Structure 1
Amino acid sequence: MRAKTIRTTRKLALTGAVAAAGLLLAACSGSGSGDSMGGMDHGGKATTSASAAPSSAGAFNDADVMFAQMMIPHHEQALEMAKLADGRAEDAEIKKLVGEIEKAQDPEIQKMKGWLKTWGKPESMGGGGHGMAGMMSDTDMKALSATKGKAFDRKFAELMIAHHEGAVEMAKTEQTNGSDAAAKQVADDVVRTQAAEIAQLKKILERL
């Protein structure tokens, strides 16, 4: 009786082992004829695609955060300068450029605020931003608001050239050091559009 029990136990164990092997083979072949090992973790495609998912979704780094935190007040000051043109600017090309600045920079501010919220970072670095490249001082802004007509046009062009040059400098740093694809795209846009506006403003100054 004891020998019969041992034989039965061995038979059941063997049956279980065969069943387990069958399940394992089914799992291995489940990915199709092109890649019979695709469902297993052997450092192949399945593992690589899973680890790449967070990066493709938009990884960010400290450079991206700093770019957004610096560019928001920089753009906001450009909009303040543009608002001063209302009732003060005389030159038609200056007026048109003011509209283009407002149209481009306000949406970018909203984008950057959205990134920082998603990243869990504060919008402001503190300090008011006047130490950043191209930022106007309170004295500069008061001097601009005190002018009108052609004098305003010249002052506006001079200050906006310096302001844009600062923005381009920050955007180029983001192009080099940033990681987030959306932030780098905005940096590309800033370099392209504001470099063109710098050239335009210089031509305006030559004829004023």
Structure 2
Amino acid sequence: MKIALVGTRWFGAEMFRLLNAAGHDLAVCATNGEEDALAKAARGAEVPTVVLDNPHRVGAAEIPAESVDVIVAAHTHAFVTADARAKARVASIGYHPSLLPRHRGIAAVEWTMKERDPIAGGSVYHLSGGMDAGALAAQDWCFVYPDDDAGSLWRRALAPMGLRLLMEVVAEIETTGTVQAYDQDTRAVTLAPLLAPAA
């Protein structure tokens, strides 16, 4: 399939490697500058790549393909606009490290720890006009251990879960030509804004 990957850092680079190894035709929008892991991985593989430096939005012009089957957002905090999403024939999906609709926002893992949630999880959702508000395509959960912090929870469970879930949804699209979408429960929405650094 033709896939546009929008992302950053280790998670974005790992998603790139998995999609590339699976034989997908990739185009990349790396949103954390030239030295970002995803930018380096894509350029090293000679994949069409647009590199941006921490944009607030990714529009159609930043998707380096006329059209794609799927847009995959993998660790990007930039909003993917409606005109960009319109380039995707089947779906525009992203991964959020919470059991949406809980902890919508930039600091989901940190709020999982702050709220002392005993269970965490990850969600693949359809990108939409609202922050982390799109219909759900896949979810999974994990325990939060007593000795976890945000970093260990991300590395141990939520990042590997996200890579697996995204690949499962991409495989579903490749096999069936579609992807499930079920609405988030709006009664359970909580927000996860950026937390102030500890003094």
With the shorter chain as reference, the TM-score category is under 0.3
Greater RCO, CA 8 A, separation 6+: 1
Bigger radius of gyration among the two: 1
Structure with more helix by fraction: 1
TM-score (structure 1 length as normaliser) = 0.26
Structure with more strand by fraction: 2
TM-score (structure 2 length as normaliser) = 0.27
